Amino acid sequence: MNTNSLHAIDFHTHAEVSCRQPHDGYRPELDEAFTRYFKSDHRPTIQETVDYYRSLNIALVMFAIDAEFELGRKRIPNEEIAEAAAANPDILIPFASIDPHKGKMGAREARRLIEEFQVRGFKFHPTVQGFYPNDRMAYTLYEEIAAADLPMLFHTGHSGFGSGARAGGKLRLEYSNPIHLDDVAIDFPDIPIILAHPSWPWQDEALSVCLHKPNVYIDLSGWSPKYFPPQLIQYANTLLKDRMLFGTDFPLITPERWLKDFETAGFREEVKPLILKENAMRVLGL
């Protein structure tokens, strides 16, 4: 990967379609609510996403979500994303997702993905996976990731997944309050911990944890920058300028839309290169 030639690194994109297995339609009410909430049913393949990002000269971190315990739904294989990254090393950075409820088997899978597939980090979604991030149940998996000095990315704040479904799909928003990651940052102080999204309705908690714990970062995905709360922009321009990361949540938000709104959202010119690429390079060791 030639980072000098890249315009940006998108730290947050989703693998939505597997080319190896059909979509698991279990609990279709969740898919229907998801489409209504985001007003889109666009589901590009991994290679279609890669080709699109290459045309924009933007590298991307990609992952699926393993929530087999909570949702009972078959995941997209981590290996599929890793193999796509091996075939597209100029643009694609593979993250894995393992349900923390898998315990020691999950830790073994993480070790295999690191050693055999060279994944570069791990994604967690506490609301969809059904756990508090500081639950010791998850530490067996975290310890394997920390031993490899790889970053961990956690969904925080409101979840579009489940929104509008009966009882919210029985998914609990409280799991994704970023204050729970304060404990994780204490127990794993030497690896990057990234809070995904503006963490509404807990934005101040996210900023506090990030300000207090030097290994905590925030990715700015999931919202158009024109909707960012003012305190998030204030800290991104000042005390936390070295710990903010560009991310979109693609395909839910396109990089074109995000970057267009970023230009006029109030970010200082001198911090834009940090957010768009330089901070991500440091986190990923590029």
Virtual torsion, Cα 17, 13, 263, 195, nearest 10 deg = 150
Structural domains of the chain, count: 1
- Measured CA to CA, the distance from residue 7 to residue 28 in angstroms comes to 38
Quote the pLDDT of residue 222.
Answer: 96
Quote the pLDDT of residue 117.
Answer: 98
- Length of the chain in terms of residues written: 286
Query: Smallest Cα–Cα separation from 100: which of 63, 156, 143?
Result: 143
Quote the pLDDT of residue 150.
Answer: 98
Tens of each residue's pLDDT in the chain, 286 residues: 999 999 999 999 999 999 888 888 878 888 887 888 777 777 899 999 999 999 999 999 999 999 999 999 999 999 999 999 999 999 999 999 999 999 999 999 999 999 999 999 999 999 999 999 999 999 999 999 999 999 999 999 999 988 899 999 999 999 999 999 999 999 999 999 999 999 999 999 999 999 999 999 999 999 999 999 999 999 999 999 999 999 999 999 999 999 999 999 999 999 999 999 999 999 999 9
Query: Smallest Cα–Cα separation from 198: which of 254, 236, 164, 161?
Result: 236
Virtual torsion, Cα 258, 260, 262, 265, nearest 10 deg = -120
Burial of residue 58 (CB within 10 Å: 0-12, 13-18, 19+) is buried
Quote the pLDDT of residue 167.
Answer: 93
Q: Which residue in this structure is represented by tokens 């986190």?
A: 283
Quote the pLDDT of residue 64.
Answer: 97
Answer yes or no: are the C-beta atoms of 60 and 49 closer than 8 Å: yes
What CATH number has the domain bearing residue 118?
3.20.20.140
Quote the pLDDT of residue 177.
Answer: 98
Structural domain harbouring 85: 3-284
Say whether pTM exceeds 0.85. yes
